[in-house]
């Protein structure tokens, strides 16, 4: 497709994606509606940017997409785009989590006066996501960030990060977050929420404030929990390497973490929120896993397979979590702990390590991820009413699979396939 770049075009005009007419019929070798049976030589009818029908033989003159599997636009549930210009993760594989946090803090402090980089980390991260076929991102926005440019693609659900273990820092975080909440409706995002960061960086009062806002304004929350053994030690004893690090950083507050705490206490505090994405949960107890399963109307768990692998954590209990009924979805986390933002590679990493059905993996990066972010009315499936936003995954050229499950096997277990983001819109202007 020829791109006619327009000088006055806003940022985003160079994001790699394929535009298709907002009204018309697409045809692909396979269509995966996610809810509903996969269709060989499937067609998707669009009207004014929305899907109105999915089937076979809807028209004899479709726009042919070729030998691809057409999926709903992929949804990355958890990311920190501020790190997107890093060439490699901070630290080294298998390092202790507190040492990595120390590196993140140093990196952020070194950038308190960030150079005006072009592209900015956010632009680079969005472009990288789009090039990997990602249509929507749950982005945790650092309070230190300058404004993210409004990005047409991928679309964003922006979670404002709350950091403050001491009462003073908690108050400052609330003041900044109130400003964010005032400005967010005009930002052009798909949605927004708050991200009280983690048990060791958030004063109980700050967490309670976030839960209250979530409940009152129907906002989603993202909360990192049970990520490392050191975090559990800190909760249990009020001491250990994470406490020492926080003391060194001048961010320690013993009254906030007096010991005898468990992740379950935090899940119970979050229970009154409107919607919660628990990030990682690498070391949740059986009771905590059951709590998430029982609360699946409100709670989702975000697994970031390549970040998990980077820290060489204990094996992730994916099969057990799914079996219990926890809604587990996938995220990339950031380039500070993962080689990149390709969501499909996260699913392939999970497929390589766990016995999990390919159709389940597909839901974890589409419909279930959309549910986790509260987007599932129009995202995550290809069905009448859903957005005309798709991810086309290239199928092996000469030996196109004959059955739907073979297609998914090829995508998750075969050689890494290319993926393209497809969105409705006017065709590029010809000049
Ligand atoms: Zn994270």
Q: How far is CA 108 from CA 83, 113, 159, 228, 284, in A?
A: 10, 10, 18, 21, 29
Structure tokens at 275: 């919607």
CA of 79 relative to ligand 1 center, distance in Å: 6
CA–CA separation, 72 and 190 (whole Å): 16
Report how far ligand 1's centroid is from the alpha carbon of 227 (Å).
Answer: 10
Ligand 1 center to residue 277 CA distance, Å? 11
CA 283–ligand 1 middle distance (angstroms): 15
| Centre of ligand 1 from the C-alpha of residue 418, in Å | 26
- pLDDT tens over the chain, length 431 residues: 333 333 333 455 678 999 999 999 999 999 999 999 999 999 999 999 999 999 999 999 999 999 999 999 999 999 999 999 999 999 999 999 999 999 999 998 888 766 666 778 888 999 999 999 999 999 999 877 766 766 788 999 999 999 999 999 999 999 999 999 999 999 889 999 999 999 999 999 999 999 999 999 999 999 999 999 999 999 999 999 999 999 999 999 999 999 999 999 999 999 999 999 999 999 999 999 999 999 999 999 999 999 999 999 999 999 999 999 999 999 999 999 999 999 999 999 999 999 999 999 999 999 999 999 999 999 999 999 999 999 999 998 766 678 999 999 999 999 999 999 999 975 434 43
Give dist(CA 148, CA 142) in Å, integer: 10
Tell how far the Cα of 279 is from the centroid of ligand 1, in angstroms.
7
Say if residue 385 is exposed, middle or buried (CB neighbours under 10 Å; 0-12, 13-18, 19+). exposed
Centroid of ligand 1 to alpha carbon of 415 (angstroms):
28
Number of neighbouring beta carbons within 10 Å of residue 85: 15
Cα–ligand 1 centroid distance for 222 (angstroms): 9
Q: How far is the CA of 143 from the centre of ligand 1 (A)?
A: 14
CA 419 – ligand 1 centroid, Å: 24
State the distance from the centre of ligand 1 to the C-alpha of 282, rounded, in angstroms: 12
Beta strands in 332-402 (DSSP E): 389-394
Distances (CA, A) of 430 to 6, 31, 226, 426, 427: 10, 31, 53, 11, 9
pLDDT at 401: 73
Domains and CATH numbers, the chain: 18-72+382-424 (2.30.40.10), 74-373 (3.20.20.140)
User: What is the pLDDT, as a whole number, of residue 402?
Assistant: 83
pTM for the whole structure: 0.94
Q: What is the pLDDT of residue 48?
A: 93
Distance 82 CA to ligand 1 centre (A): 11
Q: What is the distance between the alpha carbons of residues 395 and 419, in angstroms, rounded to a whole number?
A: 10
- Tokens describing residue 141: 């926005």
What is the Å distance from ligand 1's center to 333 Cα?
A: 5
Count other C-beta atoms under 10 Å from residue 1's C-beta.
8
The predicted structure's pLDDT at residue 426: 56
Give the C-alpha separation, 145 to 148, whole Å: 8
Distance from the alpha carbon of residue 141 to the mean position of ligand 1, in angstroms = 11
Determine the distance separating the centroid of ligand 1 and the alpha carbon of 78, expressed in angstroms.
7
- Residue 55 C-alpha to ligand 1 middle, in angstroms? 39
Please check whether residue 390 is in contact with residue 71, taking contact to mean a CB–CB distance below 8 angstroms. Answer: yes
Between CA 164 and CA 170 the distance in angstroms is: 4
pLDDT of residue 427: 41
- In angstroms, what is the span from residue 142 Cα to ligand 1's centroid? 11
| CA–CA distance, 157 with 171 (Å, rounded to integer) | 24
- Under a CB-based contact definition with an 8 Å cutoff, are residues 332 and 78 in contact? yes
Report pLDDT for 399: 67
Which pLDDT value is given to residue 143?
77
Give the pLDDT of residue 111. Answer: 80
Cα-to-centroid distance, 358 and ligand 1 (Å): 25
Distance 365 CA to ligand 1 centre (A): 17
- Reduce the DSSP state of residue 122 to 3 states and report it: helix
The reported pLDDT for the residue numbered 5 is 35
CB 308 within 8 A of CB 318: no
302 close to 278: Cβ distance less than 8 angstroms: yes
Please state whether beta strands 275-280 and 68-72 pair in parallel, antiparallel, or not at all (unpaired).
unpaired
């Amino acid at each position: 497709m020829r791109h006619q770049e327009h000088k006055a075009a806003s940022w985003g005009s160079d994001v790699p994606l394929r535009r298709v007419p907002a009204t018309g019929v697409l045809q692909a070798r396979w269509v995966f509606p996610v809810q509903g049976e996969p269709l060989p030589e499937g067609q998707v009818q669009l009207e004014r940017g929305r899907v109105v029908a999915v089937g076979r033989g809807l028209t004899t003159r479709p726009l042919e997409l070729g030998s691809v599997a057409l999926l709903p636009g992929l949804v990355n549930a958890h990311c920190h785009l501020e790190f997107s210009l890093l060439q490699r993760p901070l630290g080294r594989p298998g390092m202790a989590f507190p040492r990595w946090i120390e590196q993140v803090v140093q990196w952020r402090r070194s950038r308190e006066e960030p150079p005006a980089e072009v592209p900015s980390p956010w632009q680079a991260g969005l472009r990288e996501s789009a090039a990997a076929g990602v249509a929507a991102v749950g982005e945790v926005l650092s309070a230190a960030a300058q404004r993210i440019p409004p990005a047409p693609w991928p679309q964003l659900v922006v979670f404002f990060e709350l950091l403050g273990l001491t009462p003073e820092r908690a108050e400052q975080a609330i003041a900044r977050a109130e400003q964010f909440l005032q400005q967010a409706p005009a930002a052009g995002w798909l949605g927004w929420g708050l991200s009280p960061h983690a048990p060791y960086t958030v004063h109980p009062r700050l967490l309670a404030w976030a839960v209250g806002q979530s409940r009152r304004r129907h906002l989603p929350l993202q909360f990192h929990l049970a990520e490392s053994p050191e975090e559990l030690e800190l909760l249990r004893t009020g001491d250990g390497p994470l406490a020492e690090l926080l003391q060194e950083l001048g961010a320690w507050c013993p009254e906030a973490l007096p010991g005898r705490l468990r992740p379950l206490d935090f899940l119970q505090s979050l229970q009154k929120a409107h919607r919660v994405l628990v990030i990682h949960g690498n070391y949740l107890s059986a009771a905590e896993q059951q709590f998430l399963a029982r609360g699946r109307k409100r709670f989702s768990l975000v697994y970031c397979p390549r970040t998990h692998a980077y820290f060489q954590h204990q094996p992730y209990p994916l099969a057990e979590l799914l079996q219990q009924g926890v809604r587990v979805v996938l995220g990339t986390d950031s380039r500070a702990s993962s080689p990149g933002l390709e969501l499909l590679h996260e699913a392939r990493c999970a497929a390589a390590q766990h016995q999990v059905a390919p159709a389940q993996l597909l839901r974890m990066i589409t419909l279930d991820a959309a549910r986790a972010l509260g987007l599932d009315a129009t995202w995550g499936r290809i069905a009448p009413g859903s957005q005309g936003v798709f991810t086309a995954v290239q199928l092996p050229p000469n030996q196109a699979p004959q059955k739907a499950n073979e297609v998914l096997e090829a995508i998750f277990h075969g050689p890494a396939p290319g993926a393209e983001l497809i969105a409705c819109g006017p065709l590029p202007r010809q000049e």
